[in-house]
């Protein structure tokens, strides 16, 4: 295996809000006890209406993100409309399930909006696809679930979702050694896929620390 394929370790989170979806990850990649990279991309834009977070082997994750993005773009060109989140999650699940002889060692969150509303799907290495109002993956997920179970509420706004995402990832980064080195976040709503700036994330972190 090349070095890139050995890099792993992650915490990601996806939240369904009343006015969109929030996806967020931390940025550390580990190689055993070694921190292999401190600015790893774990959040990918798939199209204007959907994004993907990845946990697991970096090589597998990057390839699957490129694969899904290409398939979604081909669909949009052929049909002249956006692919639904349910269709995209089914497509990704079928891709992953078709490789039974050597699974993709990843866990994915696919989130976004379509004509039926806002959605987050969790996809496991065997191709299982499960929708829910909030999801988390990776080594720090038990700490994230502790925060989300206590603080998530139905019909929360995107602004509230961003604060909750930062709070949850911060809790994971404090206790999980494979998670850390900053937060990457996006919002997907009626305006499309929007990356949350580092400055805004820092302001949220400051607010939570007060």
**Is the distance from CB of 194 to CB of 22 less than 8 angstroms?**
no
What residues contact 177, with CB distance under 8 A and at least 6 apart?
30
Return phi, psi of residue 62, to 5°. -65, -40
CA dist., res. 119 & res. 112, Å (int): 6
Residue environment code for 10-27, b if the CB has 16+ CB neighbours within 10 A, otherwise e = bbbbbbbbeebbbbbbbb
Residues known to be catalytic: 10
């Amino acid at each position: 295996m090349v070095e890139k394929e050995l890099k792993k370790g992650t915490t990601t989170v996806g939240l369904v809000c009343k006015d969109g979806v929030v996806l967020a990850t931390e940025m550390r990649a580990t190689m055993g006890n070694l921190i292999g990279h401190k600015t790893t991309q774990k959040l990918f834009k798939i199209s204007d209406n959907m994004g993907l977070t990845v946990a697991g082997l970096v090589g597998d994750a990057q390839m699957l993100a490129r694969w899904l993005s290409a398939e979604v773009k081909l669909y949009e060109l052929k049909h002249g409309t956006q692919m639904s989140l349910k269709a995209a999650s089914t497509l990704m699940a079928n891709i992953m399930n078709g490789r039974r002889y050597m699974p993709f060692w990843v866990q994915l969150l696919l989130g976004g909006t379509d004509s039926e509303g806002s959605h987050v799907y969790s996809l496991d290495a065997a191709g299982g696809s499960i929708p829910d109002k909030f999801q988390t993956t990776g080594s720090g997920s038990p700490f994230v679930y502790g925060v989300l179970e206590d603080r998530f509420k139905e019909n929360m706004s995107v602004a509230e979702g961003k604060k909750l995402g930062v709070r949850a990832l911060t809790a994971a980064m404090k206790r999980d050694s494979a998670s850390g080195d900053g937060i990457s976040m996006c919002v997907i709503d009626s305006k499309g896929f929007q990356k949350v700036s580092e400055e805004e994330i820092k302001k949220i972190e400051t607010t939570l620390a007060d």
